[in-house]
Structure formats: structure tokens, C-alpha cells
């Protein structure tokens, strides 16, 4: 079989809860650089079943390994029959000043959009990479179910999950997020990233703002519901995340939303690991029926 990837290279494979956690490298035509991703294949997929694909978009400072190592999602994914895809967050190795400073929004963090401003526009095309290249290639290469895609993520990746599901109606059957950046046009992180990637014209920014996109919907884009978990001890909650803005937009659009606020939980992976099984089951209700 002809591979849909250009130079797909296995990096490692690890037995995990009767499935396999794998990591790959490939040459990306959309990014123009080598990219990495992780893929957990549950036992059902290893036995030849075309299982659904659930993609995790990670946050700032993360790689394709972070969720796979820290979240502990493979146990329940194995039980439910869900494949888990973990792309890297950003292009790497372009030789641009600041690209490796992934702690600093606007200089390296991918933000799951296609940059229009130099020097980032040459390689920072994460939206096209995911939607046009990686997802269909993974479905084809590994014999996964067509038209059964779910999307979730954390922080910057939660922003990506919400915005990409709204920007590509019908592509993702289910969506959820942990502590997403819900209104980047209102927060410092978003202002820095959008100025760098999209330019000074703020009228172009709302196309990548989940709250603004949801407020424009004439009807519920996900009638089965969206799940968001937010920790109330999250150090970024007040200044950067704005879940109340997305909640208001969902109310306006008639979009069912379960927004759970958890006392004592912060922004990190202990929080994600505590509730990730709920998210997997949320997606399985839609993807595995």
C-alpha cells in the first residue's frame, strides 16, 4: 500500500493497556519541515477494526509526547476502542529567531492557525497541517474509521479544539476542552500571538476566537453537547481564559454546553489526568455508536 505520508519514520512503539503507544516522524508538505506525532492504537485497531480517531491538541511548552506520558488516557481508550492522536504543537527547526521559546506566546507556539505574517507564514501553518494533511493521512495509513473524528485539547490546544471544530463544520463529530483560551482577542496571550501571526488588523482575529465564532452560529453546531472542564485554582483563569465568554456565546447560539468548574484544581496535567476519562466517554458516546 502506498503511504499517504512523505517519509513516515517510526520512532518508537510501546505496549500499553493491550494496545500500542507509537511515535512517528514524517516530512510535512504543509509545514515544509519534519513533524512528529504520537498515536495510541487500542487492541481493537490492532485486530483490524476501523476505530474512531480522537485527536488531542496540547498546550504551550508541550510536545507530541506530553499527553501520552502524563494524562493516563490509554487505559480507558483501550476499553472504549478509541485511537488517540497527539500531534506536536508547533513547527520546529525553521531557524527563526525565537521559534524555540515555546513558553512565550507569539514567538514559536503554533496556536493551531495558519500564520499570514512574515516570518511565521512560511512554516507556521498548523491548521492546514492538521485538517488537510495529518488527520486524513493517519486515518488512511492506519485503517481508522472515516467520518468519525473527535477533537479535544488543553489551554492553547483547547482554543484549537474549539476553533477548529467551528471553522470546519461537520468535520469533527465531538469536541471538548480543558481550561481552553476561550476568547483570545480579549487576553494578553491572544493579543501577542495574533499580532505576530495575523498582523495588526484586529478584524482578522475573530476568525480564530472561539467565543466570537460561537456567537455567530445560527444554530447549535454540536447538538450532542460540548464538555469543558476548568479548574478554579488555575493561575491563568481570570486574565487569560474567559470561559464565561464562551458560555455566554453558547447560550446565544443554543449550543448545549457542560462547563464544569472544579475548586482546587490548577492548569496542569494533574487536573487533566483527574478528568480525562470523562472526556473520553463524552467522545465515545458520539464516535462509538
CA-based end-to-end distance of the chain: 29
- Our answer to whether residue 154 is catalytic in this structure is no
Strands of 174-241, DSSP E: 174-178, 226-231
**Residue 203 DSSP code:** G
Contact 65, 86 (CB under 8 A): yes
Q: What's the angle, vertex CA 163, arms to CA 170 and CA 203, rounded to 5?
A: 120
Q: Other CB atoms closer than 10 Å to residue 20's CB: what's the count? A: 17
Catalytic-labelled residue, pool 155, 174, 176, 211: 155
Q: What's the angle, vertex CA 76, arms to CA 71 and CA 77, rounded to 5?
A: 90
Residue (of 91, 80, 160) closest to 120 by Cα position: 91
Contact 68, 21 (CB under 8 A): yes
Residue (of 232, 240, 229) closest to 282 by Cα position: 229
Cis omega (within 30 of 0) on the bond before 119? yes
Catalytic-labelled residue, pool 267, 279, 282, 283: 267
Catalytic-labelled residue, pool 234, 279, 282, 283: 234
Residue (of 19, 130, 166) closest to 82 by Cα position: 19
- Our answer to whether residue 155 is catalytic in this structure is yes
- Our answer to whether residue 277 is catalytic in this structure is no
Residue (of 159, 176, 181) closest to 276 by Cα position: 176
What phi and psi values does residue 150 have, to the nearest 5 degrees?
A: -125, 155
Catalytic residues: 155, 234, 267
Amino acid at each position: 500500500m502506498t503511504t499517504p505520508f512523505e517519509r513516515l519514520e517510526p520512532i518508537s512503539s510501546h505496549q500499553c493497556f493491550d494496545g500500542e503507544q507509537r511515535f512517528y516522524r514524517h516530512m510535512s508538505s504543509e509545514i515544509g519541515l519534519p513533524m512528529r506525532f504520537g498515536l495510541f492504537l487500542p487492541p481493537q485497531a490492532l485486530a483490524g477494526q476501523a476505530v474512531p480517531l480522537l485527536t488531542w491538541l496540547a498546550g504551550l511548552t508541550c510536545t507530541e509526547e506530553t499527553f501520552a506520558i502524563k494524562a493516563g488516557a490509554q487505559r480507558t481508550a483501550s476499553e472504549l476502542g478509541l485511537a488517540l492522536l497527539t500531534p506536536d504543537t508547533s513547527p520546529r527547526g525553521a531557524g527563526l529567531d525565537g521559534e524555540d521559546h515555546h513558553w512565550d506566546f507569539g514567538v514559536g507556539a503554533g496556536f493551531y492557525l495558519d500564520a499570514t505574517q512574515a516570518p511565521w507564514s512560511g512554516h507556521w501553518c498548523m491548521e492546514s497541517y492538521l485538517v488537510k494533511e495529518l488527520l486524513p493521512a493517519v486515518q488512511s495509513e492506519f485503517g481508522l474509521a472515516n467520518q468519525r473524528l473527535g477533537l479535544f485539547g488543553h489551554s492553547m490546544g483547547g482554543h484549537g479544539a474549539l476553533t477548529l471544530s467551528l471553522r470546519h463544520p461537520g468535520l469533527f463529530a465531538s469536541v471538548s476542552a480543558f481550561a481552553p483560551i476561550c476568547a483570545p482577542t480579549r487576553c494578553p496571550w491572544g493579543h501577542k500571538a495574533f499580532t505576530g501571526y495575523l498582523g495588526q488588523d484586529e478584524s482578522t482575529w475573530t476568525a480564530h476566537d472561539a467565543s466570537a465564532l460561537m456567537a455567530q452560529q445560527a444554530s447549535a453546531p454540536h447538538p450532542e453537547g460540548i464538555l469543558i472542564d476548568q479548574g478554579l485554582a488555575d493561575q491563568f483563569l481570570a486574565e487569560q481564559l474567559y470561559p464565561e465568554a464562551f458560555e455566554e456565546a453558547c447560550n446565544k447560539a443554543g449550543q448545549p454546553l457542560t462547563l464544569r468548574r472544579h475548586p482546587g484544581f490548577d492548569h496542569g496535567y494533574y487536573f487533566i489526568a483527574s478528568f480525562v476519562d470523562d472526556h473520553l466517554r463524552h467522545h465515545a458516546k458520539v464516535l462509538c455508536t
